[in-house]
Structure 1
Amino acid sequence: MKKYPPPENAHNFGAPKLNAVVKQAIVDSVAKRDSRLSCQQAQVGSGLSAIAIVISDLLKTEGGNAELIEKLSDAGRLLSDVHHTLSVSRKELAILNLNKEWKETLIDSPVDEWLFGEDLEERLKAAKSLQFSSKQLKTVKAPQPKKYFKLQKSIQLSTGSQTRWTISPRSQQSESQQSGFQQAVQLSVQSPGGISSTGPIQECEEIPQVLENSTSAIGTHFPDGRSIIREALKLGKVPTDSLEICMASISESTLKQYSRV
């Protein structure tokens, strides 16, 4: 190899050096593999240099052997292709475990005395700036809030009146307070008494107080909280296989609020 160094006008015959920024990013095993491939590439480069010297000597001879020059030229082309293939293989193996965002920039870098080009750092900076600018141009869609449901009531107590229980949507901020219902249901229970009163729509936490004030009208046949909600789900056409799941999502303390005290 020392006998046939790369010609002064063909420095690319030698094995290109691995860029420092890439060498610091790869692991030792990858660096050692690249070093072995670099030695093989240097041997191919020495073979190219030897062929180039012979061709130059033949061209200097008057009436040089054209057929011999042609054969040597073909051999040089074959070795040049091997030399180029080794450069491509070294690049692909070196970037195999590197950040994929830079893969295109690294693989497209031209080979000179350095495997990834002399201006690699400038190319990486330009690619990073381009990625940042592209992200700024993209439109980011705001996530749509999910709808949840909260049990509410509308009560009208009078002769022949009905007690209506509904589940209505709530905002996402109250997610931790939801019972797990995902449909609107309503339950109608005939009020047997004769008390006449009208109440606005209130939250379910206030129902026990209203029921307590109307105990005499409701009588002893008022169902417990579990029965009320189960009937509500049935009337809301909740599938039977989902009914128990809905019931299991309600805590005992919540059920007690809808039971007669």
Structure 2
Amino acid sequence: MNKRKFNWASSADKFNEKLIDTLDKKMSNYYTSAESRESYQQMLNLTDNDVSKPGNVTTAFIDYVVSLNLNTFLEIGCGSGRIYQFLKKKVNNLDYVGIEVSEEVVKNNKVTFPETIWKFGNVYELPADNNSIEVCFSFYVLEHLCYPERALIEMMRVIKPGGFLILIFPDFVASGRFASQFLGLSDIPTAKEKLLKFKFLDVIISIYDSRFRLPRALKNASKKYGSFPVNTSPKCLDGLRDASPDIDAVYITNKYEIEDWANSKGYKISYPNGTEKEFADHAFLSIQKA
């Protein structure tokens, strides 16, 4: 297989249903099998366990949800409870439920944080009633979904009228970066490492791919492949031990595609911290249900 090829496809096109379903099964196995993502899980654990400094995006999110003066929260892809730990310090009478696809993570969360609710499940079939949640949110999760539009519909289903869906994700189109896509001629992760191994042609092609070929392809992804495009051959499924962030990203996230989708459904969308500087590459969207 030519790894430099963009094996991208629209997840919203029924013609690709079998292809995307196969990808979804593979990604589900990747996320639920500790063996398949051992090194990547170690990186996630380090991130989840660091609650000393929330970071600019996390701080912006917490400040915004506190300003809403609401207390019923559903987090999609809660991980080891990092965001929950910030929320419980800031939100009065917090009523929080965390959803996670890893049963092992849910089991550990129930022991570590027994005061709240942790559920095993996925975003396509949320264990919540219609119109029951004030704030549903996902924190760097959307980019990992094989069916992002289906997930958006399901999340909006559980939100009360007047409630909010809050999404934070890397905008790959804006940044021109997409870590799950192979670049260059080899599996060596960076151009620097390739240079140290005297892979000079590989270095040149990698730089060309990263600076010109990939950003151009990302910018035109929806136009060329269709709405809600996904990478059907992400690096994480190739057995690599590379633990770089977003090697498991599949959806080519684009804040303006989500904005157009929300507007087409009659929802009200806002960017609490705008779309400039840090929030150009790290999209922060709030979608209010009518």
Q: Please report the TM-score for the alignment, with normalisation by the length of structure 1.
A: 0.24
Compare the two structures and name the one with the higher helix fraction: 1
Q: Please report the TM-score for the alignment, with normalisation by the length of structure 2.
A: 0.22
Answer 1 or 2: higher relative contact order, Cα 8 Å, separation at least 6: 2
